[in-house]
A and B are shown apart, each in its own frame.
Chain A
Amino acid sequence: MTMRLDMTKWLVPAVGIVIGILMAIALMGQHASPGQIALSLVFVVGYAVVVQVLARHSDVAAVLAGHPADERWSTINDRALSLAAQVTAVVLVTAFLVASFAGGDAIPYAWVGAVLAVSYLAGIAWFRARS
Protein backbone atom coordinates (compact mmCIF):
# COMPACT_ATOMS: atom_id res chain seq x y z
CA MET A 1 0.00 0.00 0.00
CA THR A 2 1.45 3.35 -0.97
CA MET A 3 0.70 6.71 0.60
CA ARG A 4 1.85 8.61 -2.46
CA LEU A 5 -1.21 9.32 -4.54
CA ASP A 6 -0.55 8.54 -8.17
CA MET A 7 -2.45 11.15 -10.11
CA THR A 8 -1.68 11.19 -13.79
CA LYS A 9 1.80 12.65 -13.77
CA TRP A 10 1.84 14.01 -17.27
CA LEU A 11 -1.74 15.29 -17.38
CA VAL A 12 -0.90 18.93 -16.58
CA PRO A 13 2.02 19.17 -19.05
CA ALA A 14 -0.04 17.43 -21.75
CA VAL A 15 -3.02 19.72 -21.19
CA GLY A 16 -0.69 22.73 -21.16
CA ILE A 17 0.85 21.73 -24.49
CA VAL A 18 -2.56 21.03 -26.07
CA ILE A 19 -3.97 24.37 -24.84
CA GLY A 20 -0.83 26.16 -26.00
CA ILE A 21 -1.11 24.66 -29.50
CA LEU A 22 -4.87 25.42 -29.71
CA MET A 23 -4.23 29.01 -28.60
CA ALA A 24 -1.51 29.35 -31.23
CA ILE A 25 -3.87 28.00 -33.92
CA ALA A 26 -6.63 30.38 -32.75
CA LEU A 27 -4.21 33.33 -32.91
CA MET A 28 -3.08 32.28 -36.37
CA GLY A 29 -6.74 32.38 -37.43
CA GLN A 30 -6.91 35.94 -36.15
CA HIS A 31 -3.78 36.81 -38.17
CA ALA A 32 -1.77 37.57 -35.03
CA SER A 33 1.91 38.33 -35.37
CA PRO A 34 4.39 35.43 -35.09
CA GLY A 35 5.68 37.06 -31.90
CA GLN A 36 2.24 37.00 -30.28
CA ILE A 37 1.72 33.39 -31.30
CA ALA A 38 5.12 32.35 -29.96
CA LEU A 39 4.55 34.27 -26.72
CA SER A 40 1.20 32.59 -26.02
CA LEU A 41 2.69 29.17 -26.78
CA VAL A 42 5.73 29.77 -24.58
CA PHE A 43 3.60 31.14 -21.73
CA VAL A 44 1.16 28.21 -21.51
CA VAL A 45 3.59 25.41 -22.33
CA GLY A 46 6.26 27.06 -20.18
CA TYR A 47 3.99 27.06 -17.14
CA ALA A 48 3.33 23.34 -17.55
CA VAL A 49 7.01 22.53 -18.02
CA VAL A 50 8.19 24.75 -15.14
CA VAL A 51 5.78 23.28 -12.57
CA GLN A 52 6.70 19.80 -13.77
CA VAL A 53 10.42 20.46 -13.30
CA LEU A 54 9.99 22.27 -9.97
CA ALA A 55 7.71 19.49 -8.69
CA ARG A 56 10.79 17.44 -7.77
CA HIS A 57 11.92 20.14 -5.35
CA SER A 58 8.69 21.81 -4.17
CA ASP A 59 5.52 20.28 -2.73
CA VAL A 60 3.50 23.29 -3.93
CA ALA A 61 4.84 22.89 -7.47
CA ALA A 62 4.02 19.17 -7.26
CA VAL A 63 0.40 20.05 -6.50
CA LEU A 64 0.31 22.51 -9.41
CA ALA A 65 1.82 19.82 -11.64
CA GLY A 66 -1.03 17.49 -10.72
CA HIS A 67 0.79 15.00 -8.51
CA PRO A 68 0.58 15.97 -4.82
CA ALA A 69 3.44 14.66 -2.69
CA ASP A 70 1.16 12.78 -0.30
CA GLU A 71 -2.38 12.52 1.10
CA ARG A 72 -2.09 15.79 3.08
CA TRP A 73 -1.12 17.71 -0.03
CA SER A 74 -3.91 15.96 -1.90
CA THR A 75 -6.36 17.19 0.75
CA ILE A 76 -4.90 20.70 0.50
CA ASN A 77 -5.35 20.49 -3.27
CA ASP A 78 -8.98 19.38 -2.89
CA ARG A 79 -9.76 22.20 -0.46
CA ALA A 80 -8.09 24.80 -2.66
CA LEU A 81 -10.05 23.53 -5.67
CA SER A 82 -13.26 23.70 -3.65
CA LEU A 83 -12.49 27.27 -2.58
CA ALA A 84 -11.66 28.28 -6.15
CA ALA A 85 -14.91 26.71 -7.40
CA GLN A 86 -16.95 28.57 -4.77
CA VAL A 87 -15.28 31.88 -5.61
CA THR A 88 -15.86 31.19 -9.32
CA ALA A 89 -19.54 30.47 -8.65
CA VAL A 90 -19.96 33.76 -6.75
CA VAL A 91 -18.16 35.69 -9.51
CA LEU A 92 -20.31 34.02 -12.18
CA VAL A 93 -23.58 34.82 -10.40
CA THR A 94 -22.42 38.41 -9.83
CA ALA A 95 -21.36 38.80 -13.46
CA PHE A 96 -24.65 37.28 -14.63
CA LEU A 97 -26.67 39.70 -12.51
CA VAL A 98 -24.58 42.74 -13.47
CA ALA A 99 -24.80 41.86 -17.17
CA SER A 100 -28.55 41.24 -16.90
CA PHE A 101 -29.28 44.53 -15.13
CA ALA A 102 -26.99 46.44 -17.49
CA GLY A 103 -28.78 45.01 -20.51
CA GLY A 104 -25.70 43.13 -21.65
CA ASP A 105 -25.27 39.55 -22.80
CA ALA A 106 -25.52 37.37 -19.69
CA ILE A 107 -25.91 34.09 -21.57
CA PRO A 108 -22.18 33.12 -21.52
CA TYR A 109 -22.16 33.47 -17.72
CA ALA A 110 -25.32 31.36 -17.52
CA TRP A 111 -23.71 28.64 -19.64
CA VAL A 112 -20.55 28.50 -17.58
CA GLY A 113 -22.63 28.52 -14.39
CA ALA A 114 -24.74 25.69 -15.76
CA VAL A 115 -21.64 23.64 -16.54
CA LEU A 116 -20.36 24.28 -13.02
CA ALA A 117 -23.69 23.28 -11.46
CA VAL A 118 -24.15 20.16 -13.59
CA SER A 119 -20.58 18.98 -12.99
CA TYR A 120 -21.06 19.55 -9.25
CA LEU A 121 -24.26 17.48 -9.20
CA ALA A 122 -22.63 14.80 -11.36
CA GLY A 123 -19.70 14.76 -8.96
CA ILE A 124 -22.02 14.19 -6.00
CA ALA A 125 -23.74 11.31 -7.80
CA TRP A 126 -20.42 9.79 -8.92
CA PHE A 127 -18.67 9.96 -5.57
CA ARG A 128 -21.79 8.83 -3.67
CA ALA A 129 -21.92 5.73 -5.85
CA ARG A 130 -18.24 5.03 -5.20
CA SER A 131 -18.22 5.53 -1.44
Chain B
Amino acid sequence: MTNDVRRLREERGLSQGQLATELDVSRQTVNAIETGRYLPSLPLAFSIGRLFGRPIEEIFHDDEAGHD
Protein backbone atom coordinates (compact mmCIF):
# COMPACT_ATOMS: atom_id res chain seq x y z
CA MET B 1 0.00 0.00 0.00
CA THR B 2 1.16 3.53 -0.78
CA ASN B 3 -0.56 6.80 -0.02
CA ASP B 4 -0.57 10.50 -0.84
CA VAL B 5 -0.97 11.72 2.73
CA ARG B 6 2.39 13.51 2.82
CA ARG B 7 1.74 15.29 -0.49
CA LEU B 8 -1.79 16.31 0.50
CA ARG B 9 -0.58 17.51 3.89
CA GLU B 10 2.22 19.57 2.37
CA GLU B 11 -0.14 21.04 -0.25
CA ARG B 12 -2.25 22.36 2.60
CA GLY B 13 0.78 23.68 4.46
CA LEU B 14 0.17 21.48 7.46
CA SER B 15 2.91 20.10 9.68
CA GLN B 16 2.76 16.49 10.82
CA GLY B 17 1.90 17.75 14.28
CA GLN B 18 -0.99 19.86 12.98
CA LEU B 19 -2.38 16.96 10.97
CA ALA B 20 -1.99 14.71 14.01
CA THR B 21 -4.03 17.16 16.08
CA GLU B 22 -6.73 17.28 13.41
CA LEU B 23 -6.90 13.46 13.33
CA ASP B 24 -6.53 13.04 17.10
CA VAL B 25 -3.50 10.78 16.73
CA SER B 26 0.17 11.21 17.64
CA ARG B 27 2.65 12.92 15.30
CA GLN B 28 4.61 9.66 15.11
CA THR B 29 1.49 7.91 13.82
CA VAL B 30 1.11 10.47 11.03
CA ASN B 31 4.76 9.90 10.12
CA ALA B 32 4.26 6.11 10.20
CA ILE B 33 1.25 6.42 7.86
CA GLU B 34 3.10 8.71 5.45
CA THR B 35 6.08 6.37 5.24
CA GLY B 36 3.88 3.30 4.84
CA ARG B 37 5.01 1.69 8.09
CA TYR B 38 1.48 1.75 9.48
CA LEU B 39 -1.80 1.10 7.71
CA PRO B 40 -4.57 3.14 9.34
CA SER B 41 -7.86 1.57 10.36
CA LEU B 42 -10.88 2.17 8.13
CA PRO B 43 -12.33 4.84 10.49
CA LEU B 44 -9.00 6.70 10.54
CA ALA B 45 -8.67 6.39 6.76
CA PHE B 46 -12.17 7.88 6.42
CA SER B 47 -11.15 10.72 8.73
CA ILE B 48 -8.11 11.39 6.54
CA GLY B 49 -10.32 11.35 3.46
CA ARG B 50 -12.81 13.76 5.02
CA LEU B 51 -10.03 16.09 6.11
CA PHE B 52 -8.58 16.29 2.60
CA GLY B 53 -12.00 16.23 0.93
CA ARG B 54 -11.21 13.14 -1.10
CA PRO B 55 -12.43 9.55 -1.19
CA ILE B 56 -10.14 6.98 0.42
CA GLU B 57 -9.24 5.32 -2.88
CA GLU B 58 -7.76 8.60 -4.13
CA ILE B 59 -5.45 8.77 -1.13
CA PHE B 60 -4.54 5.14 -0.50
CA HIS B 61 -3.39 2.93 -3.36
CA ASP B 62 -3.24 -0.84 -3.53
CA ASP B 63 0.03 -1.46 -5.33
CA GLU B 64 -0.88 -5.06 -6.17
CA ALA B 65 -4.06 -3.99 -7.94
CA GLY B 66 -2.17 -1.54 -10.16
CA HIS B 67 -3.26 1.94 -11.09
CA ASP B 68 -5.81 2.85 -13.78
Contacts and interface: CB of A to CB of B under 8 A. Distances in A.
Interface string A67-80: 00111110100000
A69 B25 contact: yes
Nearest to A72: B29
A69 to B, nearest CB: 4
A70 B25 contact: yes
B32 A70 contact: no
B40 A71 contact: yes
Interface residues of A, number: 11
Nearest to A1: B43
B28 A59 contact: yes
A71 B28 contact: no
Contacts of B26: 59, 69-70, 72-73
A9 interface: no
A71 B38 CA distance: 10
B16 interface: no
A8 interface: no
Contacts of A69: 25-26, 29
Interface string A1-45: 111100000000000000000000000000000000000000000
25 contacts: A3-B23, A3-B24, A3-B25, A3-B43, A3-B44, A3-B47, A4-B24, A4-B25, A59-B28, A69-B25, A69-B26, A70-B24, A70-B25, A70-B29, A71-B25, A71-B29, A71-B40, A72-B25, A72-B26, A72-B28, A72-B29, A72-B38, A72-B40, A73-B26, A73-B29
Interface of A: 1-4, 59, 69-73, 75
Interface of B: 23-26, 28-29, 32, 38, 40-41, 43-44, 47
